[in-house]
Structure 1
Amino acid sequence: AVKTPVEIGMAAASDIFKFTLVNDAPEAYPLGTTEVNWTATDVNGNKTTGVQRITVVDTTQPVLKFKGSLNLTKEATALATPVELEVPEVLELFPFTLTTDAPGYGDEHPVTSGDHITAKFLLGTTKVTWTAKDANGNAMIGIITVTITDTVKPVLKLPADITLEATAVKTPVEIGQATATDIYDVTVTSNAPEDYPLGTTEVTWTAKDANGNVNTGVQKITVVDTTKPGLILPVDKTVEATGLKTPVEIGQAKGTDIFK
């Protein structure tokens, strides 16, 4: 039990004859009221007694001592991110309880002074209150903040680049679909046209998560033309000579191709 040393002073007595003055005072005093009995006895055996009351009270709040920062910032690792918290040390003479309102904890789950706990926090800033209360009803609170941020871009996986033969002046192409992964909801969009001209078109894919983090990537769609034009010849002709060199109307060949 906690006992407090007290300077209680000295009683005084007067008598015609010599006397002795004694008390039953302890060296230290427990919480509450202690009666100290004083006795004055003269040399003839006459005694006088009196009582001094020493009252020890506790009105001092516990002291919370935080070793680390009062403002923690962590990058999100999950929708509810685990964060290790250092439990503050409590400086207190009397027995006490220490509780916290960190996620997953409460008054029914006391924690140990100077220990560590792990709580899970959502995105944003959360205030965590620590409450130390001693056996005599004195209480002290301390507050820290835990901030969970999301600055990580989504992971973007692109479909493969494509090279294909032209089938029209602008060729329809099945380019596939990019995908993205992130802790939070993510949308994937692109600037892909409906069809593609000859040459290389860069399709930009954009992944954007619910917190505004953006990642982009480029898929290349290359349309080539390696197909020879189609050729339609005029029909063969047989004509009668009209001279050493005979003029002949041979007609006109025709070419066919996607391109001019």
Structure 2
Amino acid sequence: CISPNRAKIDVNVNANPVAEITGPDGPACPNAELTYNGPADMDAYEWTVSGDASISGSNTGSSVTVIAAADCEGSFTVSLKITKSGCTDETSKTVTIEDKTAPVIASTTDISVNTNSGSCTALVTVTTPSVSDNCATVSATGTRSDGLALNDPFPKGETTITWNATDACQNSATPVIQKVTVIDNIAPTVTAAADVTTTTSVDDTGDCDVAVVIPNATFGDNCTGSTLAWAMTGAVTNSGSGQVGTYTFPIGTTTITYTVTDAANNTATDVMTVTVTDDENPTITGIPDNIMIDSETGVCSAIALWELPEPSDNCGIQSFSSNWFSGDRFPRGTTTVTYTAVDYSGNSHSASFTVTVQDKEKPTITGMPENIVVNNLDDYCSAIVTWALPVANDNCGVKTLTSTLYPGDPFPVGITTVVYTAEDFDGNVQTASFSVEVKDNQQPIISGIPGNITISNEPGTCTGRPTWNNLTANDNCGVKSLTSTHYPNDLFSVGTTTVVYTAEDFYGNIQTASFTVTVTDDENPVLTLPTVAASYTADQDGCLAALSFTATAADNCGVQSIVYSVGQNQISFPYNFPVGTTTVNVLVTDIHGNTDSDSFDVVVEDNTNP
């Protein structure tokens, strides 16, 4: 290319650009999105398309996106104009549109499932197989051999699904067959009636079996076509189909096994038992009445005899036993004889009577001591007494040997009877006794005896009242009495008196103790002189006067004497008093030697003339 400018310039001559389209040559699929590229580094690009296609997006880039039409047969032309340094070039490419290739369905896996619980069908999740196609996305469709929808439950057995796929240009894939097999693996159900327990006496008595109405078993299955059968084992061996109904069973346990089988040969079983027990007890006849006998002499037992009883039972007697037999030796007391009949079902019946052996022999007591006499222990009102223990014997044994007192016991003063009592186990009692006499030979003791007492008389009396502490008496067996001849503050006569205390115990032992009380008369007598005249006249015949005087005296205990004296000479009255004054001395003495004295003058005058 030569520039038209006329100026002088440097001219660079570039090579012309070459338009070239690279991209798919076809045939292209309907609706295909195709990318075409031009040469790189151009200054400008201009893309155009004609025919059965259109440009998507920019048409001025180095590449362009072309969308083929949806027609299954057609063509389009894509053109490119490029510019480089003012130079241009153009090119185009024609592409055919067509789709003659069939889609391909992916292979499938056959399905095997079990029936749903409680149903004869199964809900199956069917996965649609993928489909590959050269031009577009194609989906497969399935058709079940039973004509039901794919999401409907599949019945037991084999169902086929035919998968087909067709693309937009009606190219069809080769069909694919998929098998769905539903297996019935659910066992049928069977429920036997509740176990039956009955007894031989339900229908009648005296036999060993019973007719039983067996309630019907219930059975079912998720699918139809089940059958029921039964078999008996145990006390009865038998079998059959359907329900059992009424059947006669012997004693024992019979197991009835029910088996239900469905159309797929699944089975189920259940069992029930029929237990017939013999509830009829045996009987015993001929049981004797109660027997009562005495023990044989010297022994604690006796032999009893009776007629044997007889047992019977509806199913037979297995054993007949007794705890005692006729001719056995029975111990003292009441023994229950029990006969027991047991049949083969363990039913038992017992009948009994009693054998009473009475012990009427009393025990014996040997070795009883003779009567015992002892004195009390010092200072005790008793004595410890010992003796050899007696022995008791009995034909059936001694239950107790008791005594009112035992060796080594203290015995009170007096006579005590010791009684031994032997009792056997049947209440027979024997007694034996002896006496223990304890004599009290100990005298009482008197305490507090005072020493001899001396006191003066009380003024004006011939007595005194002495005092002393009360005496006490003690005795090993007790003081019966403590007496005295005198007691404190008693009046005691002047002189010496013996006070005697006497203590006596309850058993006649006596003890005395004494002291003296001396009452002294310390009181003098009181002298009263006679009345004396002033003078007396002598006798005419002499110079004397014969006079008598009497003095008096008083004393608390009594006057013993009044003595008169003149000078040293004792006188008596009448007394010849000489003329003049004569002093008469008077001395009074009481009975205890106490004295009082005084004197009086006697004046004698001579009045006679010579």
Cα distance in 1 for partners of 2:315, 2:217 equals: 33
Report the AA paired with residue 36 of structure 1.
Answer: I
Match of 1:73 in 2: 197
* Residue of structure 1 aligned with 2:269, choices 127, 137, 141: 141
- Aligned in 2, Cα 1:129/1:55: closer, same or farther, shift over 3 Å? same
- Unpaired segments of 5 or more residues in structure 2? 1-118, 202-206, 287-309, 321-338, 353-610
Task: Indicate the SS of the match to 2:165.
Answer: strand
Cα distance in 1 for partners of 2:167, 2:129 equals: 15
Cα distance in 1 for partners of 2:348, 2:260 equals: 44
Cα distance in 1 for partners of 2:213, 2:281 equals: 24
- Aligned in 2, Cα 1:23/1:212: closer, same or farther, shift over 3 Å? closer
Give a deviation string over 1:140-176, Cα, whole Å, max 9, x none.
Answer: 2222222111122357899xxxxxxxxxxxxxxxxxx
Q: Does 1:110 align with 2:241?
A: yes
- Aligned in 2, Cα 1:207/1:66: closer, same or farther, shift over 3 Å? closer
- Aligned in 2, Cα 1:64/1:42: closer, same or farther, shift over 3 Å? same
- Unpaired segments of 5 or more residues in structure 1? 159-177, 190-204, 219-260
| Contact 1:18-1:43 at 8 Å conserved across structures | no
Q: Does 1:22 align with 2:141?
A: yes
Task: Indicate the SS of the match to 2:194.
Answer: coil
- C-alpha displacement at 1:121, in angstroms? 1.6
Give a deviation string over 1:102-137, Cα, whole Å, max 9, x none.
Answer: 36862xx4225xxx7322221111222111111111
How many residues are aligned here? 187
Q: Does 1:8 align with 2:126?
A: yes
| Matches for 1:28-39 after TM superposition, within 5 Å | 28-39=153-164
Match of 1:98 in 2: 228
- C-alpha displacement at 1:44, in angstroms? 1.8
| Contact 2:192-2:258 at 8 Å conserved across structures | no
- Aligned in 2, Cα 1:211/1:2: closer, same or farther, shift over 3 Å? closer
| Contact 1:34-1:54 at 8 Å conserved across structures | yes
- Aligned in 2, Cα 1:184/1:19: closer, same or farther, shift over 3 Å? same
Match of 1:40 in 2: 165
Cα distance in 1 for partners of 2:139, 2:167 equals: 6
Q: Does 1:150 align with 2:282?
A: no
- Aligned in 2, Cα 1:88/1:212: closer, same or farther, shift over 3 Å? closer
| Matches for 1:53-64 after TM superposition, within 5 Å | 53-64=179-190
| Contact 1:99-1:130 at 8 Å conserved across structures | yes
| Contact 1:104-1:119 at 8 Å conserved across structures | no
Match of 2:247 in 1: 119
- Aligned in 2, Cα 1:138/1:153: closer, same or farther, shift over 3 Å? same
Cα distance in 2 for partners of 1:150, 1:5 equals: 56
- C-alpha displacement at 1:89, in angstroms? 2.5
- C-alpha displacement at 1:100, in angstroms? 0.8
Task: Indicate the SS of the match to 1:24.
Answer: strand
Match of 2:368 in 1: none
| Contact 2:227-2:260 at 8 Å conserved across structures | yes
Give a deviation string over 1:182-208, Cα, whole Å, max 9, x none.
Answer: 643579x9xxxxxxxxxxxxxxx9987
| Larger-gyration structure (1/2) | 2
| Contact 2:192-2:272 at 8 Å conserved across structures | no
